[in-house]
Amino acid sequence: MISNFYRKKLDELLVNCRRNILSVKVNENLITNAFRFALEAHKNDRRVSGEPYITHPYEVAMILAKEMPIDDISVASALLHDVVEDTKFTVKDIRAEFGYEVAEIVDGATQIEGIFENYEAKAVESFKKLMLSMTSDLRIILVKFADRLHNLRTLDFLPPSRQIRIAQETLEIFAPFAHRFGLSNIKTEMEDLSFKYLNKQLYDEIARKLKERKKERDKYIKKFIEPIEKALTEEGYKYEINGRAKHIYSIYRKMMSRNKSFDEIYDLFAVRVILDTDNKNECFSVYGIITQIFMPVPERFKDYISLPKQNGYQSIHTTVVSKEGKLVELQIRTREMHDIAEKGIAAHWKYKENIIIGERKLDEWIKWIRETIDNAGKEDYSSEQLIESFKMNLYQDEIYCFTPKGELKILPKHSTPVDFAFAIHTEVGMRCIGAKVNGKIISLDTPLKSGSQVEILTSKNQTPKRDWEKLVVTQKAKSDLRKYFNTEKRKIAEKGKEIFEKKLKKNKIHINGDDLTRLVQKLKYKDILDFHYEVSSNEYRADEIIDVIQNRSKQETVEEISESINQTDHELTSQERTYNKFVTDARASAGGISIGDGQSSVNIPGLKYDFAKCCNPIPGDDVIGYITKTEGIKIHRRNCNNIVNLYLMDSSRIVDVNWAESGLTEFSGGIRIIGEDRPGILNEITEMISKTYKINIISANVYTKGSTFEGTIIMNVHDLKELNSVIERISLHKGVIKAMRFSG
């Protein structure tokens, strides 16, 4: 038996399921049993807020029932989605109790947890498996959307560091995913809640100003829509018309992109006309009626009915000038279009007997996911490359371009003629030498604009250029270019292989594949292909290995042979001998670093040393040294990953290092910045650094990722204290989400 409190909760969930899940008869027993099971499984668990844990899966199920109503199986899966991860029960238990479908959704949702956190460390095979499981049943990702949304709604109870991580992850991944699935309401709330924790001061400021102007705005909207209502009623239309304020994050993006304050942004709301009709042509008729009342702005007319967005979104967008001279954004759509715009893939279940463009687009996207994962296996993508391709595909707005014959190509915003060429056909892309846009020749790096007619110029003698990889933004172009350059690399490596094998044969040396693999790995090559590729242009590397093998006795192991390649001509048997050798033979340097155990350290003028580029230590860092063959002592930060590996390889080369009190002036320090993409922000930051700290900036690089940018600034600093001060100052700059030290 369950208490009256939970009985009422269950009844409320069932009422929402009956009301909203229209495509199937709701299996209330399934949902009831799932609720009871989850209640029992989590009976001893509490959330960070102190609430019983069951409140979370219950609210996740309620989000699905209200905002993404598909079927009873998805609701039951939402109730159970944390059981496997947080309790003693297994997927096998879920399958036995609730069947295959529920178990697969619960399992998929469990595995997706945390996939985007620290994705560089994720194995590519694991990521591919998870993405494929998502495409096998889209309800998996819908459960995760609901799970993430409820976590965002209750984020106040987590420490700030976790709030920022979850909010950033949501803004980068989950919100764009929701957009791709057409879940407008979910995407909007995710963005606003994430923004609240990433920039609370600005969020509160925009929210306050929207609230202050609500009465004024409502009065203005009412006055604006009165003549529209009158005209549509006289024409006999059945409709709903309303005005709404744009959500906070979209207003923030407008402020950033236009470099204006809140008070300078006028299009803070939109008026939406929803027609109760199955005839989409009536949307155009209503557009004609409204533009008889208000003057339209022609360049701001967008027809997403004839040319739907990739996620199936359909509507007319336009802007008109009100009687008071203000610009007002209008959206005109049918009820079905509205449902699909708000609920995306969930609405497809409701209208599944009709031919829905969105379903076809979604099928195309799922096909793209599978092809991308398949190509990743063939081309040996890193996990970072794979997920970046997904993020790029999620983020991009779309442009519509046409071939000279009128064929439509939908491309991501910022696409170039090279992207367009590969969208036509791989061979067209490979042979591309130029392009004409609306009859005018443009360079291959020129971003295309929506509505352009693009003609690709080709030559049979053309081959892809390396810099094309920096020009293209579409996954197809990137994939085709990567395939081409990998093929070319293999051809060159074959020549290197022939050179190496001839040298082995000439010197009557035999080495099996496993031994050679271990040798090249010791030399820090990724694999034998990389080794052969270098040999093709540098025969000395092959001679070096052959000389080493010839000079070693046959009894020695491959590990000893490999080690000899990286050693000096004579054996270094102890830290003392190595240390003394480098002290004796060192050349003059900028001098003044202390070497020793910290208690009896001494300054050794003239000792040859250098600072490792992998971690770029600066005064104030805890450092350690590694004695190399030709470069003296390499100074690393003590927490550098490479120093750990070096220690494991040969601990006798490790030597304690302390900073000298004088003699060292300026060092290269790097800062990585993540922020909202808007014109001029990088210039603002670099100018602030130069004026405030009077230090020299060596380089500044930035690239955009949807609505955000990531950049690195390399500068000369005196010590860690100064670098940390700069980082702290940048973190407070308007539009900066995060600033941190950059070492690479």
Q: Are residues 601 and 702 in the same domain?
A: no
Name the CA radius of gyration of the chain, rounded: 31
Q: Are residues 639 and 687 in the same domain?
A: no
Q: Are residues 547 and 632 in the same domain?
A: no
Model confidence band, residue 139 (pLDDT cutoffs 50, 70, 90): confident
Q: Are residues 345 and 228 in the same domain?
A: yes
Please state which of the ranges 152-166, 351-365, 514-528, 688-702 shows the lowest mean pLDDT. 351-365
Model confidence band, residue 161 (pLDDT cutoffs 50, 70, 90): confident
Task: Say whether 498 is catalytic.
Answer: no
- What residue type is assigned to position 725 of the chain? S
Neighbouring C-alpha atoms within 13 Å toward the C-beta of 737 = 25
Q: Report the DSSP beta bridge partners of residue 242.
A: 272
* Alpha-carbon torsion angle 469, 473, 477, 482, nearest 10: 40
Largest CA distance in the chain: 101
Q: Are residues 321 and 227 in the same domain?
A: yes
Average pLDDT over residues 105-124: 61
* Alpha helix segments (H runs only) across 3-154: 4-20, 28-41, 55-67, 72-80, 83-86, 91-98, 100-112, 124-136, 139-153
Six token digits for residue 700: 């500044």
Strand segments, DSSP code E, in 300-394 are: 302-303, 316-321, 327-334
What's 87's domain CATH number?
Answer: 1.10.3210.10
Neighbouring C-alpha atoms within 13 Å toward the C-beta of 218 = 6
Label residue 581 exposed, middle or buried (CB < 10 Å: 0-12, 13-18, 19+).
middle
Q: How far apart are CA 289 and CA 241, in angstroms?
A: 14
Task: Say whether 67 is catalytic.
Answer: no
pLDDT tens sequence across 303-317 = 889 888 777 788 999
pLDDT tens sequence across 26-43 = 899 999 999 999 999 998
Model confidence band, residue 390 (pLDDT cutoffs 50, 70, 90): low
Task: Give the CA angle between residues 598, 599, 600 to the nearest 5°.
Answer: 100
In a domain, 140, yes or no: yes
- 3-state SS assignment for residue 732: coil
Q: Is residue 21 over pLDDT 70?
A: yes
CB 682 within 8 A of CB 700: yes
Rounded alpha-carbon distances, angstroms, from residue 605 to 251, 590, 608, 665, 667? 60, 8, 9, 16, 19
Based on the structure, what is the number of domains in the chain? 5
Closest to 67 (Cα-Cα) out of 109, 110, 16:
16
Q: Is residue 226 over pLDDT 70?
A: yes
Task: Give the CA angle between residues 543, 549, 552 to the nearest 5°.
Answer: 140
* Mean predicted lDDT score pLDDT of the chain: 79
- 3-state SS assignment for residue 212: helix
What is residue 52's DSSP assignment? B
In a domain, 362, yes or no: no
Average pLDDT over residues 212-216: 87
pLDDT for 126: 47
What is the per-residue DSSP string for 26-44?
A: --HHHHHHHHHHHHHHTTT
CB 336 within 8 A of CB 278: yes
Model confidence band, residue 524 (pLDDT cutoffs 50, 70, 90): low
Q: How far apart are CA 364 and CA 476, in angstroms?
A: 14
Please state which of the ranges 102-116, 290-304, 369-383 shows the lowest mean pLDDT. 369-383
Give helix then strand counts, H and E, for the chain.
32, 21
Q: Is residue 300 over pLDDT 80?
A: yes
What's 725's domain CATH number?
Answer: 3.30.70.260
In a domain, 76, yes or no: yes
Catalytic residue among 28, 40, 86, 388: 86
Q: Are residues 618 and 725 in the same domain?
A: no
Q: Are residues 677 and 704 in the same domain?
A: yes
Q: How far apart are CA 503 and CA 510, in angstroms?
A: 11
Q: Is residue 104 over pLDDT 80?
A: yes
Q: Is residue 152 over pLDDT 70?
A: yes
Q: How far apart are the first and last CA of the chain?
A: 60
Q: How many CB atoms lie within 10 A of CB 118?
A: 9
In a domain, 101, yes or no: yes
Sign of CA dihedral 247, 449, 367, 360: positive
Catalytic residue among 11, 45, 51, 85: 85
- Helix 184-198 with 139-153: angle, nearest 10 deg: 40
Q: Are residues 14 and 137 in the same domain?
A: yes
Residue at which a domain ends, from 526, 546, 565 = 565
pLDDT for 618: 87
Q: Are residues 694 and 733 in the same domain?
A: yes
pLDDT for 246: 84
Q: Are residues 236 and 324 in the same domain?
A: yes
* Alpha helix segments (H runs only) across 380-441: 383-395, 417-424, 426-430
pLDDT tens sequence across 439-475 = 888 888 899 988 788 999 988 888 898 888 888 988 7
Residue at which a domain ends, from 532, 565, 598 = 565
Q: Which residues contact 597 (CB under 8 A, 6 or more apart)?
A: 656
Q: Which residues contact 743 (CB under 8 A, 6 or more apart)?
A: 614, 615, 616, 637, 640, 670
Q: Are residues 247 and 323 in the same domain?
A: yes
Q: Is residue 736 over pLDDT 50?
A: yes
In a domain, 263, yes or no: yes
Q: Report the DSSP beta bridge partners of residue 658.
A: 594
Q: Are residues 684 and 643 in the same domain?
A: no
Q: How far apart are CA 440 and CA 257, in angstroms?
A: 29
Domain that holds residue 79: 4-157
Q: Is residue 546 over pLDDT 90?
A: no
CB 672 within 8 A of CB 632: no
Neighbouring C-alpha atoms within 13 Å toward the C-beta of 735 = 25
Q: Is residue 580 over pLDDT 60?
A: no
Residue at which a domain ends, from 512, 533, 565 = 565
Q: Is residue 230 over pLDDT 50?
A: yes
In a domain, 711, yes or no: yes
What's 326's domain CATH number?
Answer: 3.30.460.10
Q: How far apart are CA 473 and CA 414, in angstroms?
A: 7
Q: Is residue 363 over pLDDT 70?
A: no
Average pLDDT over residues 553-571: 44
Q: Is residue 437 over pLDDT 60?
A: yes
In a domain, 167, yes or no: no
In a domain, 125, yes or no: yes
What is residue 586's DSSP assignment? P
Percentage of residues of the chain with pLDDT beyond 70? 76
Q: How many residues does this entry show for the chain?
A: 744
